[in-house]
Amino acid sequence: MSTPAAGRPEARYGSPRSPKAPSGLSGKIIAIVSVIVLIAFILVFARFIMNRDDRSVTVEMISHERIDDQTMRLWVDVTRDNVDDPSYCIVTSLNYGMAEVGRRELLIEPGGDQIQRFEVDIPSRDLPVSGGVYGCSTEIPSYLSIGA
Protein backbone atom coordinates (compact mmCIF):
# COMPACT_ATOMS: atom_id res chain seq x y z
CA MET A 1 0.00 0.00 0.00
CA SER A 2 1.06 3.49 -0.62
CA THR A 3 1.14 6.18 2.02
CA PRO A 4 -0.31 9.59 1.32
CA ALA A 5 2.07 12.40 0.74
CA ALA A 6 2.87 14.43 3.79
CA GLY A 7 2.09 17.76 2.18
CA ARG A 8 -0.09 19.07 -0.56
CA PRO A 9 1.58 20.12 -3.77
CA GLU A 10 1.56 23.87 -3.50
CA ALA A 11 1.81 24.36 -7.25
CA ARG A 12 -1.38 22.40 -7.81
CA TYR A 13 -3.56 23.42 -4.83
CA GLY A 14 -2.13 26.75 -3.80
CA SER A 15 -0.73 27.75 -0.46
CA PRO A 16 -2.74 26.88 2.64
CA ARG A 17 -4.77 29.82 3.91
CA SER A 18 -4.89 30.81 7.48
CA PRO A 19 -8.41 31.68 8.69
CA LYS A 20 -8.85 35.43 8.89
CA ALA A 21 -11.32 37.24 11.04
CA PRO A 22 -13.72 39.28 8.94
CA SER A 23 -12.47 42.80 9.08
CA GLY A 24 -14.85 44.35 6.60
CA LEU A 25 -17.57 46.84 7.30
CA SER A 26 -20.32 44.56 5.93
CA GLY A 27 -20.02 42.08 8.80
CA LYS A 28 -20.46 44.86 11.35
CA ILE A 29 -23.46 46.27 9.51
CA ILE A 30 -25.14 42.86 9.38
CA ALA A 31 -24.55 42.39 13.11
CA ILE A 32 -25.97 45.83 13.97
CA VAL A 33 -29.03 45.35 11.76
CA SER A 34 -29.63 41.90 13.27
CA VAL A 35 -29.54 43.32 16.80
CA ILE A 36 -31.95 46.14 15.84
CA VAL A 37 -34.39 43.69 14.23
CA LEU A 38 -34.21 41.42 17.29
CA ILE A 39 -34.92 44.32 19.66
CA ALA A 40 -37.85 45.47 17.50
CA PHE A 41 -39.28 41.95 17.46
CA ILE A 42 -39.01 41.68 21.24
CA LEU A 43 -40.77 45.04 21.71
CA VAL A 44 -43.62 44.14 19.34
CA PHE A 45 -44.06 40.74 21.00
CA ALA A 46 -44.09 42.29 24.49
CA ARG A 47 -46.71 44.84 23.41
CA PHE A 48 -48.84 42.05 21.93
CA ILE A 49 -48.65 40.04 25.16
CA MET A 50 -49.60 43.06 27.27
CA ASN A 51 -52.59 44.03 25.10
CA ARG A 52 -54.05 40.67 24.17
CA ASP A 53 -56.16 40.30 27.32
CA ASP A 54 -56.87 43.97 27.80
CA ARG A 55 -60.62 43.66 27.28
CA SER A 56 -62.65 45.70 29.72
CA VAL A 57 -66.01 44.41 28.41
CA THR A 58 -66.84 40.81 27.54
CA VAL A 59 -70.02 39.08 26.44
CA GLU A 60 -71.04 35.43 26.78
CA MET A 61 -74.08 33.80 25.19
CA ILE A 62 -76.19 31.98 27.77
CA SER A 63 -79.12 30.68 25.76
CA HIS A 64 -81.15 31.21 22.60
CA GLU A 65 -84.72 30.69 21.43
CA ARG A 66 -86.32 31.02 18.00
CA ILE A 67 -89.38 33.24 18.40
CA ASP A 68 -90.55 32.81 14.79
CA ASP A 69 -88.98 32.17 11.38
CA GLN A 70 -87.54 35.69 11.28
CA THR A 71 -86.59 36.38 14.92
CA MET A 72 -84.04 34.89 17.29
CA ARG A 73 -83.95 35.73 21.00
CA LEU A 74 -80.61 35.54 22.82
CA TRP A 75 -79.78 35.82 26.49
CA VAL A 76 -76.28 37.15 27.06
CA ASP A 77 -74.20 38.01 30.10
CA VAL A 78 -72.11 41.17 29.78
CA THR A 79 -69.19 41.64 32.18
CA ARG A 80 -67.70 45.11 32.56
CA ASP A 81 -64.61 46.07 34.54
CA ASN A 82 -65.80 49.66 34.91
CA VAL A 83 -69.58 50.08 35.08
CA ASP A 84 -69.26 53.87 34.80
CA ASP A 85 -68.22 53.58 31.13
CA PRO A 86 -70.86 53.06 28.46
CA SER A 87 -70.26 50.10 26.20
CA TYR A 88 -71.87 48.08 23.47
CA CYS A 89 -71.83 44.49 22.28
CA ILE A 90 -72.71 42.85 18.96
CA VAL A 91 -74.76 39.66 18.94
CA THR A 92 -75.71 37.63 15.87
CA SER A 93 -78.18 35.01 14.69
CA LEU A 94 -76.98 32.11 12.55
CA ASN A 95 -78.64 29.76 10.05
CA TYR A 96 -78.03 26.03 9.53
CA GLY A 97 -74.90 26.76 7.48
CA MET A 98 -73.59 28.84 10.43
CA ALA A 99 -73.79 31.97 8.27
CA GLU A 100 -74.73 35.21 9.97
CA VAL A 101 -78.35 36.04 9.09
CA GLY A 102 -79.00 38.75 11.66
CA ARG A 103 -77.10 41.18 13.84
CA ARG A 104 -77.97 43.53 16.66
CA GLU A 105 -75.92 46.07 18.60
CA LEU A 106 -76.68 46.03 22.31
CA LEU A 107 -76.03 49.39 23.96
CA ILE A 108 -75.19 49.22 27.67
CA GLU A 109 -75.55 52.49 29.51
CA PRO A 110 -73.34 53.46 32.47
CA GLY A 111 -74.29 52.07 35.86
CA GLY A 112 -75.71 48.78 36.99
CA ASP A 113 -73.96 45.64 38.13
CA GLN A 114 -70.61 44.43 36.93
CA ILE A 115 -72.27 41.37 35.36
CA GLN A 116 -75.63 41.97 33.68
CA ARG A 117 -77.93 39.61 31.77
CA PHE A 118 -79.72 40.95 28.70
CA GLU A 119 -82.46 39.53 26.51
CA VAL A 120 -81.96 40.55 22.88
CA ASP A 121 -84.35 39.94 19.96
CA ILE A 122 -82.50 39.74 16.63
CA PRO A 123 -84.43 40.15 13.36
CA SER A 124 -83.14 37.64 10.79
CA ARG A 125 -83.29 37.47 7.00
CA ASP A 126 -83.27 33.64 6.99
CA LEU A 127 -84.39 30.88 9.34
CA PRO A 128 -82.31 31.40 12.52
CA VAL A 129 -81.19 28.26 14.34
CA SER A 130 -78.52 29.55 16.71
CA GLY A 131 -76.96 32.68 18.03
CA GLY A 132 -73.50 33.99 18.61
CA VAL A 133 -71.56 36.86 20.08
CA TYR A 134 -69.22 39.01 18.00
CA GLY A 135 -67.63 41.12 20.71
CA CYS A 136 -67.83 44.27 22.82
CA SER A 137 -66.21 47.68 23.04
CA THR A 138 -66.28 50.82 25.14
CA GLU A 139 -65.86 53.02 22.05
CA ILE A 140 -69.46 53.78 21.11
CA PRO A 141 -70.01 54.32 17.35
CA SER A 142 -71.52 57.63 16.27
CA TYR A 143 -74.81 56.04 15.13
CA LEU A 144 -75.55 54.72 18.64
CA SER A 145 -76.55 57.25 21.28
CA ILE A 146 -76.76 57.00 25.06
CA GLY A 147 -79.99 58.10 26.72
CA ALA A 148 -82.02 58.56 23.52
Dump pLDDT digits (tens) for 86-102: 999 999 999 999 999 99
CATH number at residue 114: 2.60.40
Co-location of 42 and 91 in the same domain:
no
Q: Could you give the 3-state DSSP secondary structure of residue 124?
A: coil
Q: How far is CA 123 from CA 24, 90, 116, 139, in A?
A: 70, 13, 22, 24
Strand partners, 117: 77
- Tens digit of pLDDT for each residue in 109-147? 999 899 999 999 999 999 999 999 999 988 888 888 776
Our count of domains for the chain comes to 2
**Do 63 and 37 share a structural domain?**
no
* Residue 76 belongs to some domain of the structure: yes
This prediction has a pTM of 0.63
- Both 82 and 124 in a single domain? yes
Are residues 45 and 74 both part of a single domain? no
